[in-house]
């Protein structure tokens, strides 16, 4: 029996990768429950919505564990670096992959220091002095980079890549968001069944919409000059209904919350600054200005990612070089305009989808403050659905090797 399990383990790539992912998740879950050393800490002033928003970007600022920062500094660095590498003629785009990774990690270190300082300054330490705070900062930074390493190991040897860590982080933190709703229902027990049925239906609807947008696509029929068999009529250029996937949700949250970290840090130096106090109060995700900024960022990032993922100029040039063409469309500018037309339409449609699911619930939180902790749940559910679909696709790919029989022994 043991020999059979060993043989199955050696032959099954999916099994090996699945075990690696399980082990990585166990290490991650363990680290989330390891408190910062040598000090007893209680949160005192870090904005609650800022804590909850960090969950979307791979952290958990509400906790006092070594993994509190999580993937947040790295994710924010990825966003900022992507702004400099979007154009192929930019200075950073011309650098090697190794150089880009180095600058990205250096930026992640700077952002980690910034976010770690905010976390420490908004925290009470029972052990006085600068030493424990610096030690806590070093541990936070080390924990963050260790989580990045776990994500890279899962990308290389496991299933789901960094998405697996994002998904587990969001699932574990959703209980905190559901807390106010559960407390409210328990106080008004007549709402128990309507809330349970209504909440279930909303969750199912969000999942269905997320699956539809993730899987649907517009197909431009292609003619490939080198394909003349019966499959030639089935070739097409796909443009997904949501070309950016769920990335604008994470990136948008990171862009909206990043100024908040800067403002809170600067308030330590200039605590009486009216401008900084106004920005700290009004740039939070649960304010009117913060909500509008987040919704706008979802729309803008959806269009930006649609352009990056499809890039009409590069796509049209690639088709022309290969001799392929879109049926009824001439080479060059006409092909580029044709692709750009549908790219922008799909980008706008995907942006509206993101804004409705992830952005509009924040408006509800403005009118009902007691539900503010729950307004991020729809966006998080959409994120988890997208990550889960990515994992399913990877599993299907890994299983392809087992669907073929040997021709020769």
Per-residue 3-state assignment (H helix, E strand, C coil) for 4-42: HHHHHHHHCHHHHHHHHHHHHHHHHHHHHCCECCCCCEE
Predicted pLDDT of residue 7: 55
Q: How confident is the model at residue 3 (pLDDT cuts 50, 70, 90)?
A: low
Lowest-pLDDT range, 143-152, 187-196, 315-324? 187-196
pLDDT in tens, 331-364: 777 888 888 888 888 888 888 888 888 888 888 8
First and final CA of the chain: distance in angstroms? Answer: 24
Q: Coil, strand, or helix at residue 314?
A: helix
Residue 96 in this model has a pLDDT that exceeds 80: no
Residues 6+ apart with CB under 8 A from 406: none
280: its two tokens: 């700290």
DSSP 61-101: TTS-BTTSSTTHHHHHHHHHHHHHHSSTTSTTTTS-HHHHH
Confidence of residue 23 (pLDDT cuts 50, 70, 90): very high
- The secondary structure element, H or E, covering residue 221 is strand 217-223
12 or 44, higher pLDDT: 12
Q: Shortest CA distance to 310 belongs to which of 211, 220, 223?
A: 220
Strand partners, 239: 218
Q: Tell me what percent of the residues of the chain surpass a pLDDT of 90.
A: 1
The helix-helix angle for 72-85 and 97-121 (nearest 10°) equals 140
User: Above 70 in pLDDT, residue 104?
Assistant: yes
Measured CA to CA, the distance from residue 326 to residue 224 in angstroms comes to: 9
Confidence of residue 149 (pLDDT cuts 50, 70, 90): very high
CATH no. of 12-403: 1.10.3370.10
Indicate the SS3 state at residue 227: coil
All residues at 6 or more sequence positions from 148 whose CB lies less than 8 Å from its CB, including other chains: 71, 74, 108
Question: At which residue do the structure tokens 């409705």 appear?
Answer: 356
pTM here is: 0.79
Q: Give the helix/strand (H/E) hosting 326.
A: strand 325-326
Please say whether the beta carbons of 283 and 289 come within 8 A: yes
- Domain boundaries in the chain? 12-403
Whether 316 contacts 270, CB under 8 Å: no
Give the pLDDT score at 358.
86
Q: Using the 8-state DSSP alphabet, how is residue 371 labeled?
A: G
Give the model's pLDDT for residue 287.
81
What SS3 class is residue 54? Answer: helix
Question: DSSP characters for 284-305?
Answer: STTSHHHHHHHHHHHHHHHHHH
Say how far residue 215 (Cα) sits from the centre of its chain. 18
Phi, psi of 69 (to 5 degrees): -75, -35
Mean pLDDT, rounded, of the chain:
78
Q: What are phi and psi of 203, to 5 degrees?
A: -65, -45
Q: Please give the Cα distance from 102 to 214 (Å, whole number).
A: 32
Provide the pLDDT confidence category of residue 285 given band limits of 50, 70 and 90: confident
Structure tokens of 339? 């692709």
Instruction: Say whether pLDDT at 330 is over 80.
Output: no
Averaged pLDDT for residues 84-102: 69
Place of tokens 């899987």: 215
Cα angle for residues 398, 403, 405 (degrees, 5° grid): 130
CA–CA gap between residue 220 and residue 212 (Å, rounded) = 19
For residue 357, what are its two tokens?
């699911």
pLDDT at 4 over 70: no
R_g of the chain computed on alpha carbons: 24
b/e code 89-101 from CB counts within 10 Å (16+ = b): eeebeeeeeeebe
What is the DSSP-derived secondary structure letter of residue 368?
A: -
């Amino acid at each position: 029996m043991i020999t059979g399990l060993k043989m199955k383990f050696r032959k099954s790539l999916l099994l090996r990768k699945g075990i690696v992912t399980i082990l990585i998740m166990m290490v991650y879950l363990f680290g989330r429950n390891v408190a910062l050393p040598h000090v007893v800490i209680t949160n005192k002033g870090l904005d609650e919505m800022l804590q909850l928003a960090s969950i979307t970007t791979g952290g958990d600022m509400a906790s006092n564990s070594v993994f509190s920062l999580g993937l947040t500094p790295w994710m924010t660095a990825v966003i900022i670096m992507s702004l400099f590498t979007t154009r192929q003629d930019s200075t950073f785009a011309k650098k090697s992959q190794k150089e880009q990774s180095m600058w990205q990690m250096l930026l992640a270190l700077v952002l980690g220091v910034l976010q770690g300082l905010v976390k420490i300054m908004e925290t009470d330490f029972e052990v006085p002095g600068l030493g424990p705070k610096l030690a806590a900062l070093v541990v936070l930074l080390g924990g963050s980079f260790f989580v990045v390493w776990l994500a890279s190991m899962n990308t290389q040897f496991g299933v789901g890549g960094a998405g697996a860590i994002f998904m587990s982080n969001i699932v574990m933190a959703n209980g905190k968001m559901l807390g106010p709703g559960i407390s409210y229902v328990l106080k008004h027990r007549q709402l128990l069944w309507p809330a349970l049925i209504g909440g279930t239906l909303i969750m199912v609807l969000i999942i269905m919409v997320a699956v539809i947008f993730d899987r649907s696509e517009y197909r431009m029929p292609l003619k490939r000059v080198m394909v003349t068999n019966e499959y030639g009529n089935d070739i097409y250029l796909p443009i997904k209904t949501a070309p950016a996937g769920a990335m604008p949700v994470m990136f948008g949250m990171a862009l909206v919350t990043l100024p908040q970290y800067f403002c809170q840090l600067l308030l330590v130096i200039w605590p009486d600054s009216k401008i900084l106090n106004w920005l700290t109060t009004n740039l939070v995700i649960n304010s009117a200005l913060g909500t509008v900024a987040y919704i706008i960022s979802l729309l803008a990032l959806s269009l930006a990612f649609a352009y990056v993922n499809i890039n009409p100029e590069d796509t049209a040039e690639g088709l022309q070089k290969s001799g392929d063409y879109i049926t009824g469309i001439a080479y060059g500018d006409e092909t580029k305009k044709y692709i750009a037309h549908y790219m922008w339409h799909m980008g706008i449609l995907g942006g509206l989808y993101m804004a409705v699911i992830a952005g509009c619930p924040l408006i509800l939180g403005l009118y009902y403050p007691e539900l503010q902790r729950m307004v991020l749940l729809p966006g998080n559910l959409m994120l988890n659905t997208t990550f889960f679909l990515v994992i399913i696709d990877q599993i299907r790919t890994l299983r392809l090797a087992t669907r073929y029989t040997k021709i020769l022994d």
